[in-house]
Amino acid sequence: MRVFTQNDPFFEPALDETLFSLSNGYLGVRASRSESPEEIAIRGTYINGFYDRVPMIHAEKAFGFPDKTDKLVRIIDTQTIRVLLDGEAVELTPESVENYRHELRMEEGISLRAFDYMKGEKRAHIRYERMASLKEPGLFVYSLDVDYEGEIEAESLVQAEVYNFSDSDDPRVGQHEERLLMTKRLEVIQEKIFYEGYTASTKASLQACITHHSDAPLTFQVEEEVARARARGRGTLHLEKRLHLSDSYHYEDPAGELLRLQDVSSNSSYAELKAEQAQILQNFWQESAVTIEGDVEEQRALHYLQYQLFQNAPRGPWGNIAAKGLSGEGYEGHYFWDSEIYLLPVFEWLRPELATPMLAYRYQILEEARKRSLVMGQKRGACYAWRTISGIECSGYFPAGSAQYHLSADIAHAMMAHYEMHDDVDMLADFGAEVIFETARLWLEVGHFDEEGFHIFNVTGPDEYTAIVDDNYYTNLLARKNLRSARTVYDVLQRRNPQALQRVTEKIGLTEDELGEFQKAAAQMVLLYDDRLGIHAQDSSFLHKPAWDLEANRHLQPLLLNVHPLSIYRHQVLKQADTILAYTMEEAEEDIMRRGFDYYEARTTHDSSLSKCVYGIMASRLGDLDKAYEYFRDSLYMDLHNTHGNTKDGLHMANVAGSVLSILTGFAGLRSQGGRLALRPRRPKELQGYRFPFRYRGRRLQLEVGEGYRLELLSGSPIEVLIEGEEYLLTDVLEGGTL
């Protein structure tokens, strides 16, 4: 059974809240202790994409700097259900609690906290359950059961006055404690608690209905911005609390959606809701589980990460996946390039239906990207915001933020990868082509030709410790892919959906001359190579800088918190994979990649959570399986062991995905090469084997790797496959020898 467990009742509360958080892609609730609302932690509930806008203050403001930023709103707190035994509140102490267990039951889709509570000579058994419905995203359920030989009281609270978390010493977290959600009404009508609020600046509406069901009589009370429901019994007490949510960002008629949700909820018992949840999870694990053999703890950790990916994926037009998902307030709920380069590839291989909403979100904010391009000095094209929720730029530090133009190419890459992997011409016709064309235009605006070729100056690549550089290898490579994709997409639609092509080209005024310029820029794109070292240069200046002494300065990591940016920028030191990441997306010659890996690895701090998984994937590609496995282990336990020290602010979702990719595109070597499936299966000696089902171009396949490999076509027509570069026709099963 897939269960993640914590048996220490005094484990760090804020970290516990993150690790046991529940979500369904729309609604996320941190695992704060129901009986302890006064506990100092990060007691948060969030809706994906439900934001307010707050002022952004710059010490020295220049043209184009954003003056407002989106911020994920902490919404009403419904987590509290206090338990009183013979009139005294339950408070966990070393003397009072026994048999404690906190479980995330990943096959049932619920969390459970249960313990025995000692009160004098009496013993109470207390059990809390929670569920974020995967079928009805606006529904969250709490359940409490108490057994006690005495008087039992349960006090359930709805707290409307909430404030976002802040940490003035950490730039990755909000700097000011703010109340972003204002109360319009909080009242009890026919034993239902109704709430209506609005965001302070944008005036977006949030509506909620909280219902209670108990085997004991219920009473209700509202005092200012707190509503209470109380149930009193003796011997045993059961209380069920359901939170129903709707908002105006995601629903045209939030009041109507709330009524619909209540009707659906009222017709289902908790047992029926749990059965539906378990069925959804059963299908997920059957169709998508990545399984490793050889270490039970590693398997449990891997499935925990897969579960977090699944429960944080949006299942409708609710935005994207933030850097911390819905598990915390790190990075203020902003979406980054993590989605396209780390998260989407996992979904494309395992659950492509979950990829499409994330791609559609980028189209929804395309108009903001066009506006931003103008602000940034371009005459046309789409320049996507580095960090955002609504589409506006929310980065206040442009050298390591807004200057990362590669995001626009990353988005185009993700659109093109989805088409190639699933032959999804409809996606291109509906929105993908427009995004790819508009982002391709950006590079003609930003770059320029000279006698050496096509250059892109003054940008920042993935490595945020090297800012405002010329001809960053990763950026130029992805820009070239973007420019080439525009021509490819044009030709695909011309053949397969000319009406859609005409519609989009007329809408944006795309011409054949522009397509020719795209091709010319792509053909002449400058990709710097250093003859002396035999490697691709990260940019035009990196290899000319003095080296940073990593070992002597370990105590200063993460450098972004302890060293002035200019000092960092002047040295050869990387925060994360940059050129090496580019190799995972488009390979170079084998010996060049190997030399580049050795060179850049020795200069990388891995201060970014996005880094180690990439180096591990590349180590697999180069056949260094010992190193690949070491990086895999580091990625696997980053949050579970809190190795970066900030998991309390939320899970590192890109690394969560990167850990899964370490097997899919790392050990197994899965690739889509121009619409052709390729793999290079390898097995670290520490693993007995691994297996996983995956999707490709309408087929369902399964790969098993042990002493050899076995690739099976589960459904769909025969397909040509490249295995270790050799062509095979897969009609049923392909098997290979010793690895």
For the segment 408-467, what is each residue's pLDDT rounded down to a tens digit?
999 999 999 999 999 999 999 999 999 999 999 999 999 999 999 999 999 999 999 999
How are beta strands 699-705 and 677-679 bridged, if at all? unpaired
* Residue 61 domain flag: yes
pLDDT of the residue at 171: 58
pTM of the full structure: 0.96
CA angle, 664 then 668 then 669, to 5°: 90
Choosing from 266, 293, 326, the residue where a domain stops is: 266
Distance CA 730, CA 724 (A): 14
Tens-place pLDDT, residues 583-593 = 999 999 999 99
Residue 522 structure tokens:
């792509």
E strand or H helix at 183, and its extent? strand 181-189
- Residue 343's alpha-carbon distances to 142, 310, 354, 394, in angstroms, are 30, 11, 10, 21
The region that residue 198 occupies, defined by phi over 0 for left and psi between -120 and 50 for alpha, beta otherwise, is: beta
CA angle, 318 then 324 then 328, to 5°: 95
Contacts of 262 (CB under 8 A, 6+ apart): 209, 211, 244
726 is a domain residue: yes
Sort 193 into a burial class: Cβ within 10 Å, 0-12 / 13-18 / 19+. buried
As a whole number of angstroms, the distance between CA 197 and CA 392 comes to: 24
Last residue of a domain, one of 233, 266, 299: 266
What is the number of structural domains in the chain?
A: 2
Would you say residue 167 has pLDDT above 80?
no
Q: What is the pLDDT of residue 442?
A: 98
CA distances from 626 to 50, 296, 413, 682, 684 (A): 44, 19, 30, 11, 7
Q: Round to whole Å and give the CA distance between 679 and 116.
A: 51
Alpha helices in 497-530 (DSSP H): 498-508, 512-523
Domain boundary among 217, 233, 266: 266
Give the helix/strand (H/E) hosting 359.
Answer: helix 355-364
- Model confidence at 168, pLDDT cuts 50, 70, 90, reads low
Please check the confidence at residue 172 and state whether its pLDDT lies above 90.
Answer: no
Residues 265, 271, 276, 281, CA torsion sign = positive
- Does residue 273 fall inside a structural domain? no
Confidence at residue 40, expressed as pLDDT on a 0 to 100 scale: 74
Q: What is the mean pLDDT of residues 705-717?
A: 97
Average the pLDDT over 641-653 and give the result: 96
**How many Å separate Cα 728 from the centre of its chain?**
35
Q: pLDDT grade, residue 152 (50/70/90)?
A: very high
Residues 6+ apart with CB under 8 A from 621: 583, 584, 587, 593, 666, 669, 680
566 in a structural domain: no
Short-list 531, 544, 561, CA closest to 645: 561
- CA 272 to chain CA centroid, nearest Å: 30
The full length of the chain comes to 739
Q: How distant is the alpha carbon of residue 558 from its chain centre?
A: 22
- For residue 717, the domain's CATH number is 2.60.420.10
Q: Which tokens belong to 470?
A: 């010329």
Q: Is 252 exposed, middle or buried (0-12, 13-18, 19+ CB in 10 A)?
A: exposed
Tell me if 157 sits within 8 A of 89, measured CB to CB.
Answer: no
- Using CB atoms within 10 A of its CB, is residue 699 exposed (0-12), middle (13-18) or buried (19+)? middle
Asked if the structure places residue 107 within a domain, the reply is yes
Tokens of residue 35, six digits: 């009986």
Of the pLDDT bands very low, low, confident and very high (cuts 50, 70, 90), residue 151 is very high
User: pLDDT value at position 730?
Assistant: 97
Any catalytic annotation for residue 464? yes
pLDDT attached to residue 294:
87
Question: What contacts 246, CB < 8 A, 6 or more positions away?
Answer: 138, 206, 207, 208, 254, 255, 257, 258, 261
> Any residues with CB less than 8 A from the CB of 637 and at least 6 apart, and which?
301, 643
Q: Find out whether 2 and 289 touch, Cβ atoms under 8 Å.
A: no
Residue 64 lies in a domain: yes
Range of the domain at 713: 671-739
pLDDT in tens, 286-322: 999 999 998 899 999 999 999 999 999 998 877 899 9
| Residue 570 structure tokens | 């002047």
CATH number of the structural domain spanning residue 42:
2.70.98.40
Mean pLDDT of the chain: 96
The one catalytic residue among 464, 514, 517, 601: 464
Residue 259 within any structural domain of the chain: yes
On the question of pLDDT at 249 being above 60, the answer is yes
> Tens of pLDDT along 597-606?
999 999 999 9
Give the pLDDT confidence of 378-402 residue by residue, as tens digits: 999 999 999 999 999 999 999 999 9
Burial 9-22, CB ≥16 within 10 A → b, else e = beeebbbbbbbbbb
Asked if residue 169 has pLDDT above 80, the reply is no
What pLDDT does residue 175 have? 52
Q: Residue 387 falls within a domain, yes or no?
A: no
Contact 364, 316 (CB under 8 A): no
Residue type, 595: R
